[in-house]
Amino acid sequence: MVANRVRHTVAFTLVHQEGSAEERDFLDAAERLADIPGVEAFELLAEVSPKNGYRFGISMEFADGAAYDRYNEHPDHIRFVQQRWVSEVSEFIEIDYAAR
């Protein structure tokens, strides 16, 4: 990775049944996080390791920590966390990477 750049990732599991309309609706809403200014290289992924219980992942990159902070404070992000994430995600882990 380039210096200063941050890759923000989160692996998660939903409370919804696999393949349900509720799952699809949550993932559609999560994909709209890509529209928040500063978000780059956005990916909504399947988590496929048998060594943990997470089923999905989101990966996004920011040019620097300031851009990451602006994302965290953006009203669309705060609204998504409050209205969707808190009630529809059962387990998650956030892991953020930068150049060494």
User: Do the beta carbons of residue 8 and residue 59 sit within 8 Å?
Assistant: yes
Q: Closest CB to a copy of itself among 52 and 82?
A: 52
User: Do the beta carbons of residue 85 and residue 72 sit within 8 Å?
Assistant: no
Min. distance of Cβ 75 from a copy of itself in angstroms?
A: 21
Our finding on whether 13 is near a copy of itself (CB under 8 A) is: no
- Looking at residues 17 to 36 of the shown chain, list those that interact with a copy of itself (rule: CB under 8 A): 27
- Looking at residues 40 to 99 of the shown chain, list those that interact with a copy of itself (rule: CB under 8 A): 43-49, 51-52, 54, 56-57, 59, 93-99
Q: What does the alpha-carbon distance between residue 54 and residue 71 come to, in Å, rounded to a whole number?
A: 24
